Amino acid sequence: MPGFFITFEGGEGSGKTTQINKLAESLNAAGYKVVTTREPGGTPESEKIRQLLVQRDGGNWSPMAEALMFFAARLMLYQKIIKPALDEGKIVICDRFTDSTRAYQGYGHDLGFDVIDELKHIALGDAEPNLTFILDIDPKSGIERAQERLSSQKINAERREDRFEKLDLSFHQRLREGFLQIAKREPQRCVIVDAAQTIEHMAQSILQTALKRLEERLEERKG
Ligand code: Z5A
């Protein structure tokens, strides 16, 4: 069976990491071979780009420069990790992918979805996830959750990965709107999950959706 590519998207502190770990655990227990990774990052080269993009002292990049760097990191991750795992029939679960560039740089920073789609086409051709969970949360609660977690990290100020968290609340509200627009553009691929629910409740509905889509995919292949 060909692989299946799942991504998790959403604003800060929406619970992507938490849900990815839970989904991977459940799918592994159900006998699937699962690879998890994250963006920006996942390969040594992409992790270097991550430092420039998310650390407080990483530099003051323009939105277009940021978009190009996210695609450089993404291309390495796709070529080295995602594509080979999908070719081996595995399920790949990635924390953020092209939709984050659409939402943050395309919508939040006004580059436009069309520009991001063009860059995507150049870098990745038609590669898109089979299924995307968009974890939707009121930005205020999300930022509070992310800040609580950040303040528990024992790292010096410059190395903290909070360059995006430092953007103002109106940006985060716009970002939320951007993600909802993406879901509207592609309702078959994107599933919105209410991230104000409990961790367990979210995990149950995400698992059910993922299993249903995997089943449908298998049926399509048979037919
Ligand atoms: N970025 C971009 O601009 N363009 C791009 O193309 C890409 C990225 C790919 C990467 O940050 C930054 O890069 C990101 C966008 C930008 N901006 N920021 N920040 P990152 O990967 O370091 O951070 P993140 O993706 O935003 O993840 P996060 O802040 O780590 O949040 P999360 O993974 O969604 O949440 P979590 O770690 O699972 O949960 C956060 C806390 O909330 C934690 O203490 C949990 O225990 C708690 N939590 C989780 N779920 C719940 C529920 N349901 N109830 C209560 N508490 C919960």
Q: What are phi and psi of 119, to 5 degrees?
A: -60, -40
Q: How far apart are CA 138 and CA 143, in angstroms?
A: 9
What is the model's pTM? 0.95
Check: CB of residue 206 under 8 Å from CB of residue 26. no
Tokens at 218, concatenated:
């298998």
Q: Let me know how long the chain is.
A: 223
pLDDT of residue 59: 87
Closest-lying ligand 1 atom to the alpha carbon of residue 10: 34
Q: How far apart are CA 129 and CA 92, in angstroms?
A: 9
Residue 133: how many CB atoms within 10 A of its CB?
27
pLDDT of residue 58: 86
Residue 2: how many CB atoms within 10 A of its CB?
12
**Segment-wise mean pLDDT, segments of 10 residues, the chain, 223 residues:** 92 96 98 98 97 89 97 98 98 98 97 98 97 97 84 62 75 96 98 98 98 93 80
Closest C-alpha residue for ligand 1 atom 49: 15
pLDDT of residue 34: 98
Test site for ligand 1: of 7, 17, 105, 182, most ligand atoms within 8 A of the Cβ: 17
Strand order in the sheet with 91-95: 34-38, 91-95, 4-10, 131-136, 190-194
pLDDT of residue 135: 98
CA of residue 20 to ligand 1 center, whole Å: 11
- The three-state secondary structure class of 189 is coil
Measured from CB, residues less than 6 Å from any atom of ligand 1 are 10, 12-18, 39-40, 54, 70, 96, 100-101, 104-105, 145-146, 148-149, 161, 164-165, 198-199, 202
pLDDT of residue 165: 66
Q: How far apart are CA 135 and CA 14, in angstroms?
A: 6
Check: CB of residue 97 under 8 Å from CB of residue 10. no
The secondary structure of 13-74 as a DSSP string is: TSSHHHHHHHHHHHHHHTT--EEEEESS-SSHHHHHHHHHHHSTTS----HHHHHHHHHHHH
pLDDT of residue 38: 97
Q: Strands 131-136 and 4-10, how do they pair?
A: parallel
